[in-house]
């Protein structure tokens, strides 16, 4: 497997060449390299630090020895913009990883992706979590291979020391009270009851999910209770304050793995990270999983998440092989490959779930397993050509509320005003 970096891409574009690595000229006229293998190029971000890609590619190559996958590696922070630039320039990378549905919607609506309904049908829509996010007027231009969603990580030892068995079936009010109870300071070391990272989703996406609301609506009154909760936790000292977390670029992993936070709402992608940290001896935290706290105590669990998917570039050099790869990656074999390293696959069935909880280091208690079966996973952000612009406004106003430069009411009002004028044209 040869890895192509962005620098190599830039050189190829400058020279007027397609992005097919060693595969020669782009297009179906020359589908194989000199060794007789099909060179399938796949755009990825942070290849070395994102083990799911290597797990998928190695497994696929082992099952398909006539295919050589060539990752096109892009810096994670630059990924959306670079892929946009590549597509605008007529790039021929075969498979494009869709980092989020906002970018997916833009590429699909711009006609830059191939329809893959046949692939989705073969995998089976009923088994693919997050597939609805890729439905654009009955057509699918990508298929998810992983489905992340948010749940509550907790430190079993810290809760036990406070006389709490586990954080099961919490409402937000109960969660707030528990976080305050778990907060302590001794010997110059503070342990926070919880840690809320700086992302706006910690407040806004969960509020939208549990109120069945639309973040593109321009009406954000449904954010209020969640902001009041977040600010109460911050004011009481039960979580690290937003300004400090942002200015010091606090790592959520460090907060939890070092025992500085007893609880932490976070996505399932972190499971792979904490499993690896435990394996490497970098942390000894005794951890478990619980469902996200809820707005009501009706027993149902609603959270939010976002799928990661593969799409076929409209100008792909090897379209047929690209579709075969996506069918495999989204299917059971791909699910097994990434489950082995702690990544949650989009394909959900009992066999996949059972295998996942047999991973070395995974908590096997009933509450952790329950956390994996929420009743509803709402999309973190709607699939819409308005979402990218809305996201920018909501991020800016979120920061101002969390550092106290705007009151909750004023911040919410400003969000609505700006989205309506800057995004919706009202």
- The string of pLDDT tens digits covering residues 27-53 is 344 345 557 899 999 999 989 878 899
- The string of pLDDT tens digits covering residues 157-173 is 999 999 998 899 999 99
pLDDT value of position 355:
84
Residue 296 pLDDT > 80? yes
pLDDT value of position 2:
64
Residue 23 pLDDT > 70? no
- The string of pLDDT tens digits covering residues 46-88 is 898 788 999 999 999 999 999 999 999 999 889 999 999 999 9
DSSP state of 362: -
Measured at the CA of 152, the angle between CA 150 and CA 154, to 5 degrees, comes to 150
- The string of pLDDT tens digits covering residues 230-259 is 999 999 999 999 999 999 999 999 999 999
pLDDT value of position 249:
94
Measured at the CA of 126, the angle between CA 57 and CA 141, to 5 degrees, comes to 55
Domain with CATH 3.40.190.10 in the chain: 4-147+307-356, 149-303+366-423
| Mean pLDDT estimate for the chain | 91
Question: Higher model confidence: residue 38 or residue 1?
Answer: 38
The answer to whether residues 40 and 318 touch, using CB atoms and an 8 Å cutoff, is yes
Residue 214 pLDDT > 80? yes
Measured at the CA of 370, the angle between CA 364 and CA 374, to 5 degrees, comes to 145
Taking the CA atoms of the chain, what radius of gyration do you get in angstroms?
22
- The string of pLDDT tens digits covering residues 399-423 is 999 999 999 999 999 999 999 999 9
What is the third-level CATH fold of 4-147+307-356? Answer: D-Maltodextrin-Binding Protein; domain 2 (3.40.190)
Q: Is the pTM of this model over 0.75?
A: yes
**What does each C-alpha distance from 322 to 28, 46, 142, 390 come to in angstroms?**
12, 21, 11, 32
Round to whole Å and give the CA distance between 78 and 402: 26
Exposed e or buried b for every residue in 132-155, given b needs 16+ CB within 10 A? ebbebeeebbbbbbbbbbbbbbbb
Under CATH, domain 149-303+366-423 is a member of which superfamily?
Periplasmic binding protein-like II (3.40.190.10)
For 297-305, what is the mean pLDDT? 95
The answer to whether residues 121 and 328 touch, using CB atoms and an 8 Å cutoff, is no
Residue 8 pLDDT > 80? no
- In terms of Cβ atoms closer than 10 Å to its own Cβ (0-12, 13-18, 19+), residue 113 is buried
- The string of pLDDT tens digits covering residues 340-373 is 998 999 998 888 888 889 999 999 999 999 999 8
């Amino acid at each position: 497997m040869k890895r192509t970096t962005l620098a190599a891409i830039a050189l190829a574009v400058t020279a007027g060449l397609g992005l097919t690595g060693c595969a020669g000229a782009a297009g179906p006229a020359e589908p194989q390299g000199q060794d007789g293998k099909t060179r399938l190029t796949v755009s990825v971000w942070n290849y070395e630090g994102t083990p799911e890609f290597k797990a998928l590619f190695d497994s696929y190559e082992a099952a398909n020895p006539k295919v050589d996958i060539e990752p096109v590696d892009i810096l994670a922070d630059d990924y959306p913009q670079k892929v946009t630039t590549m597509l605008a320039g007529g790039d021929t990378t075969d498979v494009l990883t869709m980092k989020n549905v906002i970018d997916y919607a833009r590429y699909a609506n711009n006609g830059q992706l191939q329809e893959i309904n046949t692939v989705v049908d073969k995998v089976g829509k009923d088994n693919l979590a997050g597939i609805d996010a890729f439905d654009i007027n009955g057509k699918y231009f990508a298929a998810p291979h992983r489905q992340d969603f948010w749940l509550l990580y907790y430190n079993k030892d810290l809760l036990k020391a406070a006389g709490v068995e586990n954080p099961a079936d919490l409402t937000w009010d109960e969660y707030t009270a528990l976080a305050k109870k778990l907060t302590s300071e001794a010997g110059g070391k503070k342990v926070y009851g919880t840690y809320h990272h700086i992302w706006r989703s910690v407040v806004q996406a969960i509020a939208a999910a549990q109120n069945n609301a639309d973040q593109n609506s321009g009406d954000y009154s449904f954010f209020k209770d969640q902001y009041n909760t977040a600010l109460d936790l911050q004011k009481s000292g039960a979580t690290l304050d937003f300004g400090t977390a942002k200015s010091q670029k606090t790592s959520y992993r460090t907060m939890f793995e070092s025992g500085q936070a007893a609880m932490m709402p976070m996505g399932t992608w972190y499971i792979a990270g904490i499993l690896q940290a435990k394996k490497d001896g970098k942390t000894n935290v005794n951890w478990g999983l619980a469902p996200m706290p809820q707005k009501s105590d009706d027993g149902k669990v609603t959270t939010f998440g976002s799928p990661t998917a593969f799409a076929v570039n409209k100008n792909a050099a090897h379209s047929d092989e690209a579709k075969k790869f996506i069918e495999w990656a989204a299917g059971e074999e791909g699910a097994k490959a990434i489950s082995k390293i702690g990544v949650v696959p989009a394909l959900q069935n009992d066999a996949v779930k059972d295998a996942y909880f047999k991973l070395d280091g995974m908590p096997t208690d009933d509450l952790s397993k329950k956390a994996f079966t929420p009743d509803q996973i709402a999309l973190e952000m709607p699939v819409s050509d308005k979402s990218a612009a809305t996201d920018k406004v909501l991020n800016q106003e979120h920061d101002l509320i969390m550092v106290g430069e705007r009151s909750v009411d004023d911040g919410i009002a400003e969000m609505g005003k700006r989205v309506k004028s800057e995004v919706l044209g009202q």
